[in-house]
Amino acid sequence: MNAPASTSGAPGASGAAGPSGRVVVVGGGLAGITAALACADAGLRVTLLETRPRLGGATSSFRRGELMIDNGQHVFLRCCSAYRGLLARLGSEHLTSLQPRLDIPVLAEGGRSARLRRSRLPAPLHLAGSLTRYGLISWSERVAFARAARALQKVDRDDPATDLQSFGGWLTRHGQSQAAIEALWDLVGVATLNAKADAASLSLAATVFQVGLLSGADAGDVGVPAVPLQVLHGDAATRALTGAGVRVHLATRATVIERRDAGWAVNTRAGGCHESAGVVLAVPAETAAALIPDGALPRPASTLQALGHSPIVNVHVHYDRTVLDEPFVAGVGTPVQWMFDRTGPSGTAAGQYLALSLSAADEYVDRSVSDLRGQFLPAIERLLPRARQARVLDFFVTRERAATFRPAPGTAALRPGPVTRLPGLFLAGAWTATGWPATMEGAVRSGVAAADAALAFLPSPRPGRGRARAGPAGPSGAPAPGHPPDPPPDPPNREPVTA
């Protein structure tokens, strides 16, 4: 077996120079990448351990024939300042496409359509013109929507009582019909929360709509990757971390995190030991529950599993011709939630490759590929007439069974912050107490918060570098010798299946 990939700004074993000034980051997703870069940029010696043979965490790509396929469709908004800052630090922000102005085409069966498009007016008036023309609901429902949106602006999302309420219940109390919820609120909410309104915390929903649509006229402009996610995140992170002098160990599973007299030790399944003064644990909640030492949290770490999981299913269709002229569309009154043209980023040479993203996908995650094919190909044809004459070259499904935590009412009490009760142990991940749902923005914010806490605990060797920053900067380092091999990672949650 080949040795795990390793880079370093200083030679020797991870703990050879002693743990002082050294941080081990466990997890190479967006949260771990962010924390590792921030600590390295502040002058700390950083080692990053990742179970998978790649970086990027839940945002990844895989090859299917000649195509590069993303495991899921990930978009961001202009208001996602932390995530966009990470892309700038990785040097990959130019590999995305950000709308100059919010414009979401919405399709419904029977040839009906609408657009959510902002004007140049300040928020919340920026959506007024679009709302008046949104013919998928009645005029009275549009007026009621505007009133509810104004009321939602005043919701205190930081109040613990807010988190105990369901978003759906709040919408009903504010005069929203089921048709309006499905055609407007869930159109945005399901994709960002990974839950329908009735199953979502009011606090998290308020964050999405207050920050994403109502905080500024341009806040909701949509950005999409122009390249495969592995290129945008994982490959770019490898270069950035190497340049910052971070030692990266791939295919390396942490099994035990324990305190030592001089700090911490992270043991791996292959018998390796990485000593440090601090540890940032940036792994999924259920993995963290198994690694967090006793006494680190007010409650037993096992209670993190109460966050649960909400699945996402992606349906992939390769047609022999172009059937969709938009970069993406949303659907109302159809099983098609969001549909993306990924022809260019995937490397498709002929025809058009569409990816359908189905959030809160409990009803789809266990269904067979043939069953999903029988439902979604006709559904696409009812929205896109040209698909009726097109030939399907390929149809397959990817499933993220544990895509996010369930953003249910009461979730906030289960999400710990970055600082634990054990000095030098910090937590990161989209499931931690970011105030955001499980999004790329939430993951990066958690990495920033964990790095800030670590830098407050460990004096930075560089004056003025006491807080994590997302923008480009940082020292360069040289490659270091390899290390004894660790075992291969567990299989990812992604489950590509061919019909």
Cα–Cα dist 370/281, whole Å: 40
Place of tokens 């940036």: 282
- Strand partners for 395: 317
pLDDT, position 462: 67
Residues of the chain predicted below pLDDT 70:
1-18, 460, 462-499
CATH code for position 26: 3.50.50.60
With respect to residue 266, please indicate whether it lies within any of the assigned structural domains.
yes
| 155 and 204 share one domain | yes
Q: Please count the CA atoms within 13 angstroms of the CA of 262 that sit on its side-chain side.
A: 11
Query: What pLDDT is attached to residue 261?
Result: 83
Tokens describing residue 441: 């923005």
Q: Choose the final residue of a domain: 220, 238, 260.
A: 220
Grouping H, G, I as helix, E, B as strand and the rest as coil, residue 66 is: coil
pLDDT at position 272 is 94
How many structural domains is the chain composed of?
Answer: 3
Pairing mode, if any, of strands 222-225 and 96-98?
antiparallel
pLDDT digits (tens, 9 = 90+) for 422-447: 999 999 999 999 999 999 999 999 99
Residue 3 lies in a domain: no
| Residue 291 near residue 267, CB atoms below 8 Å | no
pLDDT at 476: 27
- The answer to whether position 70 is within a domain reads no
The answer on 300 and 416 residing in a single domain is yes
Instruction: Tell me how long the chain is.
Output: 499
Residues 202 and 112 in one domain: yes
Q: Rounded to an integer, what distance in angstroms lies between the CA atom of residue 97 and that of residue 372?
A: 30
In this structure, the answer to whether residues 303 and 415 fall within a common structural domain is yes
210 and 279 fall within a common domain: no
Q: Which amino acid is at 464?
A: G
Q: Which positions ≥6 away from 432 have C-beta within 8 Å?
A: 415, 416, 417, 418, 446, 449, 450
- As a whole number of angstroms, the distance between CA 109 and CA 78 comes to 30
Compute the C-alpha angle 350/398/440, nearest 5°.
100
Please report, for the domain that includes residue 340, its CATH number. 3.90.660.10
DSSP β-bridge partners for residue 267: 256, 273
Alpha carbons 237 and 139: distance in angstroms, whole number: 48
Residue 365 pLDDT: 98
**E strand map for 261-309:** 263-268, 273-276, 278-281
Instruction: Clarify whether residues 109 and 174 are in a common domain.
Output: yes
316 with 369, same domain: the answer is yes
CA–CA dist 223, 202 (Å, integer): 25
- Residue keyed to tokens 């990844």: 60
Quick one: angle between helices 81-90 and 236-243, nearest 10? 70
| Same domain, yes or no: 379 and 472 | no
Query: Is residue 426 domain-shared with residue 278, that is, in the same domain?
Result: yes
In the block, tokens 């806490």 appear at: 453
Burial of 488 (0-12, 13-18, 19+ CB in 10 A): middle
Range of the domain at 489: 22-58+229-307+409-498
One-letter identity of residue 360: A
DSSP state of 304: G
Residue 262 confidence (pLDDT):
79
Q: Examine the domain organization and report whether 381 and 318 are in the same domain.
A: yes
Q: Kindly state the tokens that stand for 332.
A: 């109302």
3-state class percentages of the chain: helix first, strand second, coil last, to nearest 5 = 35, 20, 45
Which of 404, 420, 447 terminates a domain? The answer is: 404
Tokens 């390899």, residue located: 482
Burial 298-312 (b: 16+ CB within 10 A, else e): eeebeebebbebbbb
Report DSSP state, residue 294: T
In a domain, 4, yes or no: no
Residues 378 and 417: their CA atoms lie apart, in Å, by 46
List 46's β-bridge partners, or say none. Answer: 23
Question: Is 28 among the domain residues?
Answer: yes
Asked if residue 242 lies in contact with residue 250, where contact means CB atoms within 8 angstroms, the answer is no
In a domain, 441, yes or no: yes
Within-domain flag for 193: yes
Instruction: Tell me: do 112 and 188 sit in the same domain.
Output: yes
CB 499 within 8 A of CB 395: yes
- Please tell me the predicted confidence (pLDDT) of residue 108: 98
Q: Which of 486, 71, 45, 24 is nearest to 283 (CA)?
A: 24
Indicate whether 9 belongs to any domain.
Answer: no
Based on the domain organization, do 132 and 268 belong to the same domain?
A: no
At 7 the pLDDT is 43
End residue of a domain, out of 404, 439, 471: 404
